[in-house]
Structure formats: C-alpha cells, structure tokens
Structure 1
C-alpha cells in the first residue's frame, strides 16, 4: 500500500519540475526565477558584509567588461550580471543565484591573460545559467521536508537530521557533476565569445599548482591543506576536472591554440595588491602592523601568524600553542577589569591583576576553560585603546608547557604599541610590478634576491608567472614581481 508520505514525495517531485535553461530538459526545482533573483539579492548583501570591493574602479570596470562579453553568449542573456572583484587574499571565485559573480584579487593576481579571467567568469556563469544553486536548494528543501515526515512517522527525533545529512551528501555529490557541467559550459562560452578555450585548462592548472604549494606549506606548518572552494569541496579533484574538460565541449580547441603573452592584460593588473592589505593589517616576519588602527604587535619567534577577517591568530610551528587577538567596541564607561567580568563573563580566575602597555590600561588573568585542545589553562588579557578593547587569548596543548609559553605571550602582548614613521614605511602593501627578463634577471633565483616576499620566494614568484614548480622565464618576457 502506498503511504501518505510516499504520496507527498511524489507530489513534491511532480510540482517541482521546470525547464533547465541550458539543457532544455525538466529539472527538479522548488523555486521560481523571481524567487531565485530575490535569493541572489539577499545573499549578495551578506557577501558584501563579509568582503570589500577592491578599491580600483578601472579594474572593477575591466572585470565587468570581460564578464559581460562572456555573458552575452550565455544561455540566460536576459539576466543582468554583476561581476565584482573582492579585496581578499583568498584564491577564489564564486557565484550566487540571479547573476552575482565574484572573483578575489587573490585569484586574479595568479592569472596571466584575459582569456584566463574569462574562463574563471565563464565557469561561474555556468553555475548561474544552469541554476545549480537553485537545484541544490530545492533538493535540500525537499530532503528536510521528507526528513520531518520520517521523524514524525517513526518518532525518531534524529531522523530529520540524518536525512538532512544524507541530503547534504547528495547535494555535494551533485555538486561534483555541477562543477564539471560548469567547466563544459565555460568552455562553450569562451569559444562563442572569441577566447581560446585552452584558457580553461590553464586556469585549472593554476588552481592545481595552488593546491600543491599549499600542501607543501601544510606539511611544514603541521596543518591540514586548504582546498579550492573550502575543505568540504564541491570542486572535483583537479586532475579529474582537467581530464573532463579536455574530453568535454570544444575539446579540440581546449588543447590547441596556445599564444604568446597577453601584455595588455598584464598591464591591467599591474599595481594589484599582493598579499595583505593595509586595511586588514600587514605581516612582516614576526611583526604585525595595522596602519589604519595605528598599532603594531610582535609575536614570539618562529610562530606562524595568520591574519583572519575577524582576528589575528598565531601558533607554534608544531601547533601545540596558540594565541589570538580580537577587537571589541566599548559601549559603556567601564574598566578593563569590569570588561573581563561583564563582557567576557569571567568570574572565576586562577590569577588576575592590572597591567599597562605604555600609556594604555589593561587587565590580565589566567583561567581554566575550554580550548581547541580540550580543557586547560588560558591566558586572557584586555587592553583599552580609546573606544576599543583589544582582547588576547592564549593556551597550550600540554599543561607542562603553559608557564614557558605564557612568558612569551606576555612579552608579545606588552609589545603592543603605536606606529612610528619607520613602522609606517615597513607597513606598506606589496604591489605587482612588471619587469622585462634580461641577462641581469634571467632566472627566478636572481629575481628572488631582493624580493620583499618573506617566505618561499621562488615558489611564489613561479606561481605568479605560471612557472611552478621549476620552470624559468624566457628572455624578453614580461614577468610579475612584487615591490
């Protein structure tokens, strides 16, 4: 006998079908185009709360113009597409429903031709034209409904969560197919827009090289390697993607037609910021400088520093100790001690006392608390600076190392100070500069000699110029360095 739950599922599948703009076949979706556009508008506001537009109107317009050229030959030419360059070091590009497409300067800086930029934007266009996010949203919504029905019928409260997890797995699995489809669509759009289709292959190779380099760093730093589009990546393994693209749409075009340097493109991205921006703070060796907030901080020797959007974090090379600095607004006239009690909710401490950093008042304490390593001792310090509170946390994996590490952490906290004229000279953004390869700079080793890049200089210069892992530039070529 067919249950009422089966009938509901059948009804959902029947009413949730619409014609896919790309394939012309019926797809399972529970969202109209108007709802899709509204979802895109909503999510675009969230994106711009998390990111900034890169402050270069001319370069923004260039990215938009390349995107427009590709969009004009896409399957959904009725949409208005917005292509935005984000001020982020992340190597990333992504699309929202309804035509909102983003690329970070962290990815743009590694591209070497307009065709490669068009390939990135064409791939993301493929997600929009094929309504991938809408299809995933519809599948997830249906899975939640079915999960609730199963939970209600079975009385098992976890059934909804279990089915939702299964749904997420299915969505991510379909995501793999979506990525391959987006690659194929991107190749079609490249060809139709007059770009060489081999640029898609080159972009995928660029992403693969980024992953290989990050794996090398991850081993050195004792962490998990990052992946393009996140740890739980919807992008297939790059080798697989490469083979799929080569055997997909426009395959003969993909593997042929390599050209010389795109000097026009290279000149467009000259002066692009490389690495940290002054708005977010600059890392130079052990030192962190924030020109806009007018402070600097020196971390313990050999510690690895990570500049996050909402915090500055540092850890030992083997990741057995860490510290973090966050910034909080002050809303009431309270003391650092009261901040510890009221804002941080700390009432029990192992030790506590006031301290000062230069002319700035602070308060420090050691508490027992939850840490990334489990339960353990935590150093907490608060420093007031005008209308802001700088909040420091530090802990260790092993209890027997806490005293030793705590001394280093306190030294670091007390290094907090205003920037002087010399600091401001050091705390400048690195910018892309083009140089012509000649006898005096004919190798990456020679180019790396005076580079301000602080680590793996040769690797990073090779990544910038599509020479990774061990190729050398050609005499007469324009090559990207940073200054």
Structure 2
C-alpha cells in the first residue's frame, strides 16, 4: 500500500528503460488492464488486475549479447506500427497497476542479456522489444502488441537460473510472433457485440447468463490454444538460443509449488476456475517436456546460466517495496505512515498498490486502505457519507482505537456481512472493511483483532524497518539445510520457502561451495 494515500489514486512516477532487440514477428497478445472482482476480493472492494500469463515459464542460456551502449529507441523504430501504438497506450496503465518500474542496473543487464540471446535466433530480426521489469512481488510475465514485454521482480526472485527466465520471455515473445494479441482482441470484440445482442433480445435473464457463460468458455478455449502454441514456439526458441530447453517444465513445477505455498488453504483444488485462460499445470509440464525432447534427453543439452543469473539478482528487492509498507508474518507495518496492525492466525496478507488485502479460513476477507482527511468532519458522518453500500445506519458508533479517534458500523449485502472501522490519524482516515458469509460468527472476532492491534509505531520502530532482499551466499563446510534456512526472514515457513526459491526437492541438500539464495535484509 502506497503512501500518502488518496482516494482513487493509482498514479506513480514512471520511468522507462528501453532495449533494442531483434526477433519475433510483429504482433502480440493484447491484454487490457481491467477492473475485476477477485475471488473473495469481491467482498471488500475493487482491485486492478491484468489477465496476463501467470508466470509459469522459465528461461535459460548465457551469451555474450548484452544491452547496447547506444540503444535504438523503440518509440522511434516502431512509430508507424499500429500494434506498437496500441501497446504504448496501455503501457502507463500496466506500469501504474504493478507499482512502477524496478530499476537496478545489473538486473536490467541480466534481463537484456537473456532477451538478446533469444531474439538473436528469432524468425523476425526486424522486431523491436521494450522490456520492462515491474516493481511487483507478484509472479507474472506478459506481452502487449508491438513488442512490449513485462516481467516482475517477483518472478526473477523465484527463478533459479537464467534458463528459467529465458523460458518466460521466449513464451511471451512467441505471443508476439503468433499475432495472438490482434487475434484475441478481434475475438473479444465479437463476443462483446454478441453479449449485447443476447441482453437485448432474450427475455429470460437465465438464458442470457447461460449464453454469456458459453461465450466466455469459447474465449477461454481460444486462449488456451494460444498458450499451447506459445509453449511450442517458446521452447523451440529456448533450445535454439542454447539454453536448457527443459527449463520451461522445471519452472512450471516451481510455479505450482509456489502457488500451493502461498495459498491460505494449501489443499484446496485450484483447478476449479474453469474460465482460466491457462491450461492446467500438469498438461503444460508434460507438453513442455515433450517439446524439449527434440533437443535430446534432459541434462544433455543447453546451458542454465546459473552463475551470471545469481550475480544479476544478488540484492534484488524481495516482497513489498518500502513505499508500500512491509508484511512480516501476520503483521503489516508502514514506516512512512507510521502504523501497524495484525491479522488473525491463518490469514494471508496481500499488500497491493491500492490496498492491503487479507484472506482467511471460511471465506473471511479484509481490506485496509486510507484516504485524505481534508474536511476533518466527524467520523460517524464520514461512515454515512455514501461510500458504504448496504450500511445499517443504526449500527454507527463512535469509538477509540488505542487512543485514536475512530468509528464503527455494520453493513449487509447479498450473502455477506461487513464490519466497517475507520480511524483518524493526522491528515489520514484509515479504513478496515471485514467481510464474512452472512451469519458467520467470525465477523466480530476478526474485526476485534484488527482494532486491538492497530497503533502508531515509534520512530525507532520505523527506522528499524528494512526491505527484504535476495542475497546470494556460498554454502560453507559447517552449513546445513537447517542453518541456511534459519537465516531466512519475512516468513514463518523458512525451510519451505528456502527449498522453493532454490528448487530443492525433499531429500536434496546444498553442496559445499555451491551458491544459494536466501531472503534477508
């Protein structure tokens, strides 16, 4: 969550680093930034999201190709390309919704080196790419028409070598090569028109909804076909560039493991989202391996580029950026705002640019944000000023939260009950919205934890807050799996996360003299 917070403000200072690459045919998948209601997030607010590839690829290879000392500017090279103009229109929105760009010279050179190796073997040497590292802990990568490629620092932190990053980028470049962006845009425009006809012609609301659902399924199937085609092209490019072609399947498995690790309910079935635009992970892993076999058995071909990859991400920011506060276990802290609060045990905190979200067992959800307090009116009047849907006026009460002026209320809508707590601190009003299924006894207990734990932090506490970073260390003779994992910070499940970010299977231990990643300050 960024500070200072203003209502409806997702803007941020945006800078760009441009690389001139050569490769793939013109065109790309067009992924609009859209407002969506996420699962559970629907209970507490609207979030910005992008329907992109959910970082299920890897990359490989090392080469001598690096960023040019006098790069050609993408805007100049592609100024007459309508696809590039389309990507340019969406670029600022992408950057803003993902927390801005991440700038670190050695990390940028790493990504440029990998992209250069891939584009050198591309089918279209006239294609230019603008590669952006997004300042987000999310695991994601995607493409826009005209050669706009994006990868998050969260994905770079999860990858174990350059071949896995190369797999991600080669997949996204494949969307450009296959013109998926233009094809998908045309299909979506046709479905929007069809949906309007359905809504206007069919008298039955149920029939209309069923028709719209069938349309979504057709789009999803079309998108899955695109993804599989990009898998094929991406793995082939990966191998031709000299990277380990099996990196794609490896990173797919890492992604699946990380998804389970971050899930509030690890054993829940993640495949129930049948409208997902991506094929299921087991299918993609097997297909990626099948494509890779054309280069030979696993372990016999290609380079992983692990050494220069680790050098390029040593010191990489991990998790939340200082401007958005910090998540430490069940606690959220923000040095600039001078606040902290806890969520109940069993909850998972997701610190987004626009708000802090938390989800817990039993479909309980929390949203925390803040707005400017310019009018300095009463907080009870603020709650009733129209921003809460389903407000129950008789429940509005003034309150105190650890000595701070506050107010509380209840609301109800559809199948959900809400607790609203607002707290004044300086020139800000901070807002907690807690949502539970109607009638759930968890509403009061969850809101009580938030109110009891919210407080100012001292200057000493604020000064002690430091961002987490990826640190690369060499395994010593006296190091053990437990001692290395014990150095991890920012998680209560240190051993699990250490294994994940180093791709260590059960029973595997780091060898003396090898280098591993740890997360620390």
Give the TM interval when normalised to the shorter protein. 0.7 to 0.9
In 1: Cα distance, 2:209 partner to 2:347 partner: 40
Task: Give the stretch that moved more between structures: 266-275 or 320-329.
Answer: 320-329
The question of whether the paired residues in 2 share the 8 Å contact of 1:64 and 1:84 is answered with no
User: Which residue among 268, 271, 279 is the counterpart of 2:312?
Assistant: 268
Q: 1:423 to 1:469 in 2, by over 3 A?
A: farther
Deviation at 1:94, TM superposition (A): 1.0
1:238 maps to: 281
Deviation string 1:231-256 (CA, Å, 9 cap, x unpaired) is: 84322222222332333377224733
Name the structure where helix makes up a greater proportion of residues.
Answer: 1
Find out whether 1:420 has 2:458 as its counterpart: yes
* Alpha-carbon offset, residue 117 of structure 1: 1.5
Larger gyration radius, structure 1 or structure 2:
1
CA shift for structure 1 position 283 = 1.9
The answer as to whether partners of 1:270 and 1:433 remain within 8 angstroms in 2 is: yes
Q: What is residue 247 of structure 2 aligned with on the other side? A: 199
The TM-score, its normalising length taken from structure 1, stands at 0.80
**Contact 2:471–2:517, Cα closer than 8 Å, also in 1:** yes
What number of residue pairs does the alignment pair up? Answer: 441
Structure 2: gaps spanning 5 or more residues: 1-23, 27-79
Name the counterpart of 1:137: 185
* Match 2:88 to one of 41, 45, 50: 41
What is the CA-CA distance between 1:453 and the residue it aligns to? 3.9
Instruction: Give yes or no for contact 2:244–2:304 (8 Å, CA) kept in 1.
Output: no
For the residues of structure 2 that align with 1:277 and 1:147, how far apart are their CA atoms? 41
Change (3 A) 1:279 1:191: same
* Cα distance, 1:75–1:319 mapped onto 2, change above 3 Å: same
Change (3 A) 1:451 1:191: closer
Question: Aligned to 1:82, which of 130, 134, 153?
Answer: 130
For the 8 Å contact 1:352–1:363, the answer to whether it is kept is yes
**Higher relative contact order (CA closer than 8 Å, sequence separation 6+):** 2
Corresponding residue for residue 393 of structure 1: 433
Contact 1:355 1:364 (8 Å CA) reproduced:
yes
**2:341 counterpart of 1:297:** yes
Cα separation, partners in 2 of 1:330 and 1:35, compared to 1, 3 Å: farther
Equivalent in the alignment of 1:178: 226
CA-to-partner distance for each residue in 1:160-214, whole Å, 9 max, x for gaps?
7655543332222122222222122112322333333233333333323334545
Query: Aligned to 1:107, what secondary structure does the other structure show?
Result: helix
**Larger mean Cα displacement after TM superposition, 185-194 or 459-468:** 185-194
Task: Please report how far the alpha carbon of residue 146 of structure 1 lies from its aligned counterpart in structure 2 after TM superposition.
Answer: 5.2
Q: 3-state SS of the aligned residue for 1:310?
A: coil
Within 5 A, what are the aligned runs for 1:12-411? 34-51=81-98, 52-145=100-193, 163-214=211-262, 218-219=265-266, 225=270, 232-248=275-291, 251-253=294-296, 255=298, 256-257=300-301, 262-301=306-345, 303-316=347-360, 318-319=361-362, 321-344=364-387, 348-357=392-401, 360-365=404-409, 367-370=410-413, 374-376=415-417, 378-397=418-437, 399=439, 401=441, 406=444, 409-410=447-448
Kept after mapping to 1: 8 A contact 2:380/2:396: no
Deviation readout 1:124-154 (Å, 9 max, x if unpaired): 0001111112111112323444566677787
Q: What 5-or-longer segments of structure 1 have no aligned partner?
A: 1-20, 24-32
2:503 paired with 1:463: no
Three-state SS of the structure 2 residue aligned to 1:344 is coil
